[in-house]
Amino acid sequence: MTSRIEELVDQMTLAEQVSLLSGEDFWSLPAIARLGIGKLRVTDGPNGARGGGSLIGGVKSAAFPVGIALGASWNVRLLHEVGVALAEEVKSKGAHVSLAPTVNLHRTVSNGRNFECYSEDPFLTASLAVAYIEGLQSQRVSATIKHFVGNESEIERTTISSEVDERALRELYLMPFEWAVKKAGTWAIMSSYNKLNGTYTSENPWLLDDVLRREWHYDGVVMSDWFGSHSTAPTVNAGLDLEMPGPTRDRGDKLVAAVEAGEVSRDTVRTRALNILRLMERTGALDDHSAFEERADDRAEHRALIRRAGAEGAVLLKNEGSLLPLTGNGKVAVIGPNAKVAQIMGGGSAQLNPHYRISPWDGLVAALGEDRLSFAEGTRNNRFEPALEGGLEVEYFNNPDFSGTPVFTERLGGGEVMWFAPPGGVVDLTNFSARLRGTFTPTATGMHNIGVYAAGYARVLVEGVLVADASAGAWEPGRTYFEEGCDEVVGQVDLEAGREYEVVVEFVRKPPRILGFSALHVGIGRPLGDAEIAEAVAVAREAGTALVFVGRNGEWDTEGSDLASIILPGRQDELVRAVAAVNPRTVVVLQTGGPVEMPWIGEVAAVVEAWYPGQEAGNSIADVLTGAAEPGGRLPQTFPVKWADNPTNSQDREVYPGMDGKVRYEEGVFIGYRHYDSHGVAPLFPFGFGLGYTSFEISDISIDDSAFESDGRVAVSVTVANTGQRPGSEVVQVYVSDREASVPRPDKELKGFEKVFLGPGERMRITLELDARAFAFYRVEAKHWIVEPGTFVIRASRHAGDAGLVAEVSRQTRLMLPV
């Protein structure tokens, strides 16, 4: 029987079929009114639904915890709930498809998008992704698992070739995608920006056709990352259904011509269009003729879920003398750059305009009362000067030199703007200049930094004097605006408190490298120094407990820019040490998108890693600090003692950050704890590690291996008991080691886990099922998975560094598994 979408596709002209294969604009596909076909809309992203428009501003949305925070929860049920809630958010933005989840692995500790990804481990990542996707799609909202594949850093990200051997691909990087297809039935996948072994993933037939469609039987849509499609026939033939964003660059008439020239068959175009129609049918977009509307739905149940999820991802790394949770009525010093500024998300396309942001200070005021708190900022951790506040009048000219009368004027809310759509519908974004005029009234007298960075040429004048220059002669490519911008150029100027200064920014559009947009950030800040650290010390000395909120923010942990180091930025280490020196009850609350070095770890009593947990950040953190909630997180990424210990540290620049257009994954399957294990490098905190407020015992391991010889299945059972005084959770982690293998294999690999919630004194018997893949490795030449004969060690433990409970299983024969 012919299906509805087959009938539809066969009623279409070639041009109509082709029209569905590229975006109409940034976030939607064209409708086909003649056939009653509605409009498919997509929205970023992993930690919310931003909706249409630019990355800044836009209709408000709920900000959920970022990927690494969700990864740290190790809770598949939570991820399902988050998926369901995010589906509601996607619908509130009139969209049908979420551009999420991000499942690239933490190969490095410095990847700018580390925060957006769940883990360094493929099993944890895949398990969480499946739950998240099932949650989304249970509401008829499509996931778009990304970025397929090999996008583990942000350096030269739109052109670099990730050189990855097939075994590492199969065992690590492809696995979350494989599960998303086979177990969750994802309806969409986004190809990555990079090349894979020399060919862009958006036109890689091995990846998109052999592996994805033939081996995994994928019937969903593959879309390009934004501007990540670079050809006509090669992408269409390889299996890229959708070129994003629109309007088209490589398809439309060019694709019709390629069909006429015999470079692409009509049948291939039909198949691609059918895939799009299938996605439209699955999500309801096919029959969605409702007027486009974006709503800001600030729901109580989302607030509660986000708050809970934030605490579930918070990892208690150290708690000497059970300092936490805070008890008693003593004074609490709240110190640090992240105390009064809520760090709720990372930067880049995952960014959105949140309903609100609860800072740690706000959360603590609500939990403890302001009377018990004192505050000192201590130091700063910003990467860029804070964006100029207050209105800016903008004059636009459709020429590069501000000549004639402006074609449009508008007022902007602050010092950052990204131009995706023509202002007023009249500014020619391919050829324009803009003059922005605002004022600044300093609150303190002294030297101020004026910073500017731009995807475009820009210079800043204060009272008519040029202070920061990133104009045509001075501009150099840097790590801002997805690699379209320059690094921040900072100038200094002496300003007097209370006086109003005129600030003018002159911006001239510059042809983009790859991504077609212009953007500008202008900021003013006053550097903090010794006096502010001394003030923090004084505040800490007076208090019973000192909470120090340090870390990074979305300027550092951002798409488009890797970190140059994992040392806390600025003088934050110094601040922690200075506070710890005067207050033995010092608690460090970290907010970062990945590991940091902690040279002061021996000097402080307690450490919590809270990541970027979304709009409820301060409430989740206060819940954990006061014990209203358990710190439920376990590290989804190993924290090394120092950057140089991490898997991509090498004398060879090709291994990282990359050289001559290549980044070579030389370490193969040995990333994350697999690396630290194989090199005998002790981490600062191992993968899977995290403390709680109660104590657990894992006991009585038993194994059912009756099906091991026949089909490679093993069931592992243990008893988990809460032996402490408070309710809490423990994550039972099952690691498998292959005793003797014909290829080098990691010392152990995570193959099962379960988060168990128990009241004081409660116990529970749990069983984890391992399948044959838990024991197999991938044989490249033979193109199959194999479980070799011999003995395998199964360990049920609390983290990768824990001896845990051990059992062994053995088999006599080899077991071959198809791809």
Residues annotated as catalytic are 225
**Between 44 and 677, CB nearer to ligand BGC:** 44
Report 48-87 residues binding ligand BGC (CB under 6 A).
none
What distance in Å separates the CA atoms of residue 182 and residue 79, rounded to the nearest whole number? 18
Contact residue for ligand BGC among 19, 349, 583, 637 (CB under 6 A): 349
**Between 144 and 572, CB nearer to ligand BGC:** 144
Contact residue for ligand BGC among 225, 506, 555, 573 (CB under 6 A): 225
> Shortest Cβ distance from residue 147 to ligand BGC (Å)?
6
List all residues 6 or more positions away from 27 whose beta carbon is below 8 Å from its beta carbon: 41, 42, 43, 51, 52, 95, 245
> Shortest Cβ distance from residue 560 to ligand BGC (Å)?
8
> Shortest Cβ distance from residue 65 to ligand BGC (Å)?
17
Report 638-697 residues binding ligand BGC (CB under 6 A).
none
What distance in Å separates the CA atoms of residue 205 and residue 268, rounded to the nearest whole number? 13
| Phi-psi group of 313: left, alpha or beta (phi > 0 → left; psi -120 to 50 → alpha; rest → beta) | alpha
**Between 99 and 589, CB nearer to ligand BGC:** 99
* Closest residue to ligand BGC: CB criterion: 349
x-marked contacts with ligand BGC along 467-486 as a string, rule CB under 6 A: ---------------x----
Contact residue for ligand BGC among 86, 99, 180, 684 (CB under 6 A): 99
What distance in Å separates the CA atoms of residue 811 and residue 706, rounded to the nearest whole number? 11
Q: What angle do CA 555, 558, 564 make, to 5 degrees?
A: 80
The two beta strands, 97-98 and 188-191, are unpaired
> Shortest Cβ distance from residue 152 to ligand BGC (Å)?
13
How many other β-carbons are positioned within 10 Å of the β-carbon of residue 168? 21
Contact residue for ligand BGC among 18, 21, 32, 45 (CB under 6 A): 45
> Shortest Cβ distance from residue 208 to ligand BGC (Å)?
17
> Shortest Cβ distance from residue 350 to ligand BGC (Å)?
7
x-marked contacts with ligand BGC along 357-396 as a string, rule CB under 6 A: ----------------------------------------
Q: Residue 440, CB half-sphere, CA atoms under 13 Å: how many?
A: 29
| Ranges of H-type helices in 396-511 | none
Residue owning tokens 């005029």: 437
Residue owning tokens 């006061």: 626
**Between 453 and 689, CB nearer to ligand BGC:** 453
> Shortest Cβ distance from residue 657 to ligand BGC (Å)?
18
**Between 99 and 698, CB nearer to ligand BGC:** 99
What distance in Å separates the CA atoms of residue 553 and residue 234, rounded to the nearest whole number? 39
x-marked contacts with ligand BGC along 406-425 as a string, rule CB under 6 A: --------------------
> Shortest Cβ distance from residue 146 to ligand BGC (Å)?
5
Residue 93 near ligand BGC by CB under 6 A: no
| Ranges of H-type helices in 93-202 | 122-137, 166-168, 175-182
Total residues at interface with ligand BGC (CB under 6 A): 8
**Between 346 and 423, CB nearer to ligand BGC:** 346
Q: What angle do CA 635, 637, 638 make, to 5 degrees?
A: 95
> Shortest Cβ distance from residue 482 to ligand BGC (Å)?
6
Helix, strand, coil percentages, rounded to 5, for the chain? 25, 25, 45
What distance in Å separates the CA atoms of residue 591 and residue 384, rounded to the nearest whole number? 18
**Between 47 and 620, CB nearer to ligand BGC:** 47
Residue owning tokens 């953190």: 621
Residue 595 near ligand BGC by CB under 6 A: no
Contact 546, 530 (CB under 8 A): no
List all residues 6 or more positions away from 420 whose beta carbon is below 8 Å from its beta carbon: 26, 53, 54, 517
Cis peptide leading into residue 657 (ω within 30°): yes
- DSSP letter string, 435-458: EEEEEE--SS-EEEEEEEEEESEE
Residue 146 near ligand BGC by CB under 6 A: yes
Residue 226 near ligand BGC by CB under 6 A: yes
Closest CA to 349 of 94, 68, 101: 101
**Between 63 and 99, CB nearer to ligand BGC:** 99
Contact residue for ligand BGC among 19, 41, 44, 451 (CB under 6 A): 44
**Between 42 and 342, CB nearer to ligand BGC:** 42
| Ranges of H-type helices in 694-778 | 708-711
Residues of this chain that interact with ligand BGC (CB under 6 A) are: 44-45, 99, 146, 225-226, 349, 482
